[in-house]
Amino acid sequence: MTAAVIVVAAGSGSRLASSLPKAFVSLGRQPLLHYVVNRMSEWTRWASLVLVVPEGYEAPARALSSHVDSVHVVTGGETRGASVQSGLDALPAGVTHVLIHDAARLLMPLEVFDRVLDELETGAKAVIPHIPVVDTLVTVNGSSTQGDINRDALGAVQTPQGFDLELLRQAYASAAGEFTDDAAVMRSAGYDVVGVAGDPRGFKITYPDDLVRAETLLGENSVPLVAVAMDIHQFDSTEPLWLAGLEWPGEPGLSGHSDGDAVVHAIVDAILEAASLGDLGTHFGTLRPEFAGAKSRVFLEHTLGLLEEKSLQVSSVAVQIVANAPKIGPRREEAQVTLSGLVGAPVSISATTSDGLGFTGRGEGLLAIATAVLRRK
């Protein structure tokens, strides 16, 4: 027998609400798919590994699997079924059995892969891992519920699911409609599906909290997310100056839509970048008329709301201002207290001049550079 593994990783992860597809979301220092590929590289029972990824992510998938031999990267489809089909089409000749695995179950122990393949070796045509259902179950009809479900007779299905390749291909060829997994396709074609013990560690990353759980299990939860961003504004003496969340009477202002507060803008950009949520333009650009002319603290509040949805929080922020004026020293404490209150974490401010050089040296504009450090809740 010659076994192949297909890892389906082409979903968007809509329930994760990230700007990246689920398989490319960071867990600690690496994208999710990295951990799946590494785990597969430690398992010696396959001859070929197929990674099915979203369109446009083929190159990064190749890069993160370049240290593993016999890997094929292919583009997935609109549905999980279509992605599985792409994977099946990419299998090299000679493969007799296939294990289909959700990338989102990155922590599935290799013992479970062994159990599934062992069953195929002893002649099973279709094999699924499942785990006991721990919660009491009811059927729900609107606001009414009905009990009496014997959960001892139920199992929650996981992956990898193993198949005789020829029979699976035939089953897919004659299948009509959408199936939630590949075993269901085999069942519809009349095959018996054998069950083996799964493992709770093979839970599927679905919601943001699942990322926190996976990072904890991987020991990656202590790694902070860090980004640096800068903002530059030109001086405009007809405007009042708003900087670092404070008004500075008598000082020339900064131009720009909103209040021109380059310090808050740099902080917002650094936070968005650290969270992989894009940048100021993504959220507050000209395509978002509801933010036209908004105070920069509105941007900050909105950004903190986005972090909350991703179960992230700001650990600290540091900002350096490069300008001839205003003199920051006398109001540094006040600015730090104000910004720390707005951000909900310590914000420190420093300032320097550029020794007369460049646009800051000529007094044409002001530059703010922010570093944001985030952590998972």
> H or E stretch including 353?
none
Q: Nearest approach, Cβ of 377 to ligand CTP (angstroms)?
A: 20
- Would you say 80 or 115 has its CB closer to ligand CTP? 80
Supply the minimum distance, in Å, between the C-beta of residue 184 and ligand CTP.
14
- Dihedral angle of Cα 218, 87, 185, 171, to the nearest 10 degrees: -150
Contact residues: ligand CTP, CB under 6 A: 8-15, 22-23, 52, 76-80, 83, 102-104, 204, 206
Nearest residue (CB) to ligand CTP, 23 versus 263: 23
Minimum distance from CB of 78 to ligand CTP (Å)? 6
Smallest gap from Cβ 298 to ligand CTP, in A, equals 30
**In what helix (H) or strand (E) does residue 277 lie, and over which residues does it extend?**
none
- Tell me how far, at minimum, the Cβ of 76 lies from ligand CTP, in Å: 4
Question: What span, in angstroms and rounded, lies between the C-alpha atoms of 92 and 72?
Answer: 9
Alpha-carbon Rg for the chain, nearest whole angstrom, is 27
Closest residue by Cα to residue 200 from 309, 111, 289: 111
At residue 238, the 3 state secondary structure works out as strand
- The Cα–Cα gap between 301 and 306 comes to 9
Q: Which of 144, 123, 111, 125 is nearest to 39 (CA)?
A: 111
Q: Which residue has the tokens 């699942």?
A: 210
* Residue 188 or 206 having the CB closest to ligand CTP: 206
Nearest residue (CB) to ligand CTP, 52 versus 244:
52
User: Which residue in the shown chain puts its C-beta closest to ligand CTP?
Assistant: 11
Residue among 11 and 253 whose Cβ is closer to ligand CTP: 11
Backbone φ, ψ for residue 203 (5° rounding):
-60, 155
- Cβ closest to ligand CTP, residue 77 vs residue 278: 77
Label residue 177 left, alpha or beta by phi (over 0 means left) and psi (-120 to 50 means alpha). left
CB of 36 to ligand CTP, least distance (A): 9
The residue among 52 and 373 lying less far from ligand CTP, judged by its C-beta, is 52
User: Using CA atoms in the order 112, 116, 117, 123, what is the torsion angle rounded to 10 degrees?
Assistant: 160
CB of 14 to ligand CTP, least distance (A): 3
Residue 96 CA to its chain's centroid (Å): 34
